[in-house]
Amino acid sequence: MGWFRLGAMAEPLRFSVAEMVLVVLLCLASAVVFLLRVWPIAKTILGAKKDVGFSISPIGNRVWTFVWEVLCQGKVIKQRPLPGLAHAFVFWGFLAFALVSLNHLATGLRLGFLQDTGFVGTFYFGFAGVWAGLVAVSIAGLFWRRFVVRPRWLGEKVSVESGVIAGLIFVLMVTYLGGFVVGVGWAVDVLWWTHTLALLVFLPLIPRTKHLHLVLSPLTVFLKRGEFSQIPKLEGDEDFGLVAGKDLTQLIALQAYSCVECGRCTEHCPASTTGKVLNPKEIVLGVRGYLNEFGVGSEVPLLEEMRDSEIRDSSVGALTMEAAFECTTCGACEYQCPVGVEHLPILVGLRRGAVNTGAWEDGYGTKLFLALEKQGNALGMSAVERDKFVAKQEFPIFDGSQEYCLWLGCMGGYDPKGREIIADFARVMRYLGTSFGVMKKEKCTGDPARRLGNDLVFGSLAEAGLKAFETAKVKKIVAICPHCVRTIATDWREYGVAPEIEHHSEFMARFADKLPKQKGESIVYHDPCYLGRYQDVYEEPRAVVAAAGELVEAERNHERSFCCGAGGGLVFLGEETGERVSHVRAQELVATGAKTIGTACPFCNSMFRDALGAVGGEQPPQLLDIAQLTARGLPVVKAEAELLT
């Protein structure tokens, strides 16, 4: 080789024939090893069961998500700004270097296509140099964070291969930058060949490390299911959920191999952060380990407790029934994931496999399912109790002439505090002059059965609910429970189309200008998981709270809000292990110093009611639903005063 600067890779070089042959052989070896390693993974993904009901449309939404989450790295930066920006610089640097790397290898064959003699070549080499500097600093920072700082959610074991990959990326950048200061001589040869070897060693390492996400995650993000935490429909009578390898779908397999092991899901998981067994990252990696060990089509159960002892002792052990049933289905893991992994369909799928096959034996769960089947509500109370409440409140029965059907739900119809919320919201509706009625008979939407994996009970409740709405000619529904709203609007679609439904926060926010403004104490608002992350409703309840007092934000708010611990049916499953999720969140809310805690979900209200007794101090904040906050500013007429006594 003769004169050469790495910063001007397209300058004519005098490579010998032997050197050119060596470049070709090294490139072929790198490519072959890469393909040999990536092919079994591709074969596993393509050989998995097809996803029922998957559709590529609407394509526009997928393109926008791809642009924002992949090309712009929007989610990575927004949710974890400093390391997110470092990761984004590495990603954008790789894009900038794609042309440079191709030209670099082509130069070794005397086929270089970028020249530094003109403006374009000079500009591009300099442009790539700027990115090389940013990538070098960023990858060094990420290396320090992963191997020295070591945040606990990254896990106790840190992959050595990750360090090797980071080192190779750093070498690639430094050798490129070195070309700007080294002009002639043997140092040029050393830089060029070091850069080449680092590049060609990097490629075949990708399929065996977490850096496989470089190849798979753009596809994973683009092919995500159409809705947040979308639970796939079961296919036929022999589909019981995720029982064994044969039940794993292509999307699940793709996502399992795309996991970047960043630990964002673990960091935000209420179960994991309160000392429980569940670690959403390990669930995904457990699926990957299962696929590597048993493959798709295997009859070996996914959950350890369902396997024969011989297999259990010798196989991957992250997938346990205990972990699967500790999930609150809050969605924080899925929301935080930067590479499109959808944890909740996997966790609910594992629950389905255990419940629908009868493998899950839990006294509280059995009691809940029997209550839903026999009494039609999760609290196991007689429908007569609801009838008495409706009669006492003088709620009209929906007959088709009213604008809204006011859905009580299990908590609003049977829980004492839930009834208070319903009564106050009815006062708000009456004040606004909105006509409404309640169903003569109600059954649970089936939310706890759905999240716990009992498809038989959920299906029967969904069908009964749809039939009742059709018979009553219901057109619009309003409910105080985000779980009911989500289940009716989304999950019931497997069995038919439900009437339009909205949460009471959306209803009150729409009429905010007609509701009295109050000057009161400070109010900290808690974002319910099923209203915020699940339905993207954040500002409406805040508008209602702001009209009732001074709005205060908790440290974790909006999409980063911490769960109350009730979701996923866990509120009905007895005592939890480790620290109570509700206590952690209640402490955060109390720490704001607000005089009142505002909620927008009866389950959150119930969990905090108990938690404040333990962590609220001598004078805990008042706990009120947003409907109660609004109602206390309304004038009380004589008839209402009698109902409230």
| SS3 per-residue string spanning 333-344 | HHHHCCCCCCHH
Alpha helices for 108-159 (secondary structure H): 119-144
Residue 570: per-residue pLDDT: 96
Greater pLDDT, 189 or 599: 599
Dihedral (Cα; 238, 241, 246, 249), 10-degree rounding:
120
Question: Could you write out the three-class secondary structure of 467-514?
Answer: HHHHHHCCCEEEECCHHHHHHHHCHHHHCCCCCEEEEHHHHHHHCHHH
Q: Which amino acid is at 109?
A: L
Query: Residue 92 has which token pair?
Result: 């954008």
pLDDT exceeds cutoff 50 at 226:
yes
Sign of the torsion angle spanned by Cα atoms 327, 605, 476, 383: positive
Beta-sheet strand order (sheet of 436-437) = 436-437, 404-407, 476-479, 500-503
CB 287 within 8 A of CB 244: no
Map tokens 């390990």 to a residue.
282
Quick check: bond before 416 cis, omega within 30? no
400-458: pLDDT as tens digits = 999 999 999 999 999 999 999 999 999 999 999 999 999 999 999 999 999 999 999 99
- Look at 226-240, 270-284, 389-403 and tell me which has the smallest mean pLDDT: 226-240
pLDDT (mean) for 84-88: 93
pLDDT exceeds cutoff 70 at 639:
no
- Look at 50-64, 336-350, 495-509 and tell me which has the smallest mean pLDDT: 50-64
Q: Which amino acid is at 421?
A: I
Distance between CA atoms of residues 88 and 156, nearest Å: 25
Closest CA to 254 of 54, 30, 454, 490: 54
- How buried is 645 (Cβ within 10 angstroms: 0-12 exposed, 13-18 middle, 19+ buried)? exposed
Quick check: bond before 58 cis, omega within 30? yes
- Calculate helix-pair angle for 160-178, 119-144, nearest 10 degrees: 150
Please tell me the pTM assigned to this model. Answer: 0.91
230-258: pLDDT as tens digits = 999 998 888 999 999 999 999 999 999 99
Greater pLDDT, 262 or 413: 413
Q: What is the DSSP letter of 552?
A: E
Q: What percent of the chain has pLDDT over 70?
A: 94
pLDDT exceeds cutoff 80 at 11:
no
Distance between CA atoms of residues 508 and 523, nearest Å: 17
Map tokens 């309640």 to a residue.
438
Q: Which amino acid is at 510?
A: R
Query: Residue 385 has which token pair?
Result: 């109790």
131-174: pLDDT as tens digits = 999 999 999 999 988 888 888 777 777 778 888 999 999 999 99
In CATH, the number for domain 516-631 is 3.40.50
Q: What percent of the chain has pLDDT over 90?
A: 74
Specify the pairing of strand 500-503 against strand 476-479: parallel
For 551, the enclosing helix (H) or strand (E) is: strand 550-553
Distance between CA atoms of residues 625 and 480, nearest Å: 9
For 156-230, strand residue ranges (E) read none
- Residue extents of the structural domains in the chain: 6-222, 245-356, 377-510, 516-631
Q: Do domains 245-356 and 516-631 have the same CATH topology?
A: no
The pLDDT confidence band at residue 183, using thresholds 50, 70 and 90, is low
Estimate to the nearest angstrom the gap between the alpha carbon of 225 and the chain centroid. Answer: 12
Distance between CA atoms of residues 428 and 518, nearest Å: 14
In CATH, the number for domain 245-356 is 1.10.1060.10
In the CATH hierarchy, which fold is given to the domain comprising 377-510? Rossmann fold (3.40.50)
Alpha helices for 48-118 (secondary structure H): 59-66, 74-79, 81-107
pLDDT (mean) for 329-344: 96
Residue 643: per-residue pLDDT: 52
Query: Residue 75 has which token pair?
Result: 């989610």
521-539: pLDDT as tens digits = 999 999 999 999 999 999 9
For 597, the enclosing helix (H) or strand (E) is: strand 596-599
Specify the pairing of strand 550-553 against strand 522-525: parallel
Distance between CA atoms of residues 380 and 419, nearest Å: 16
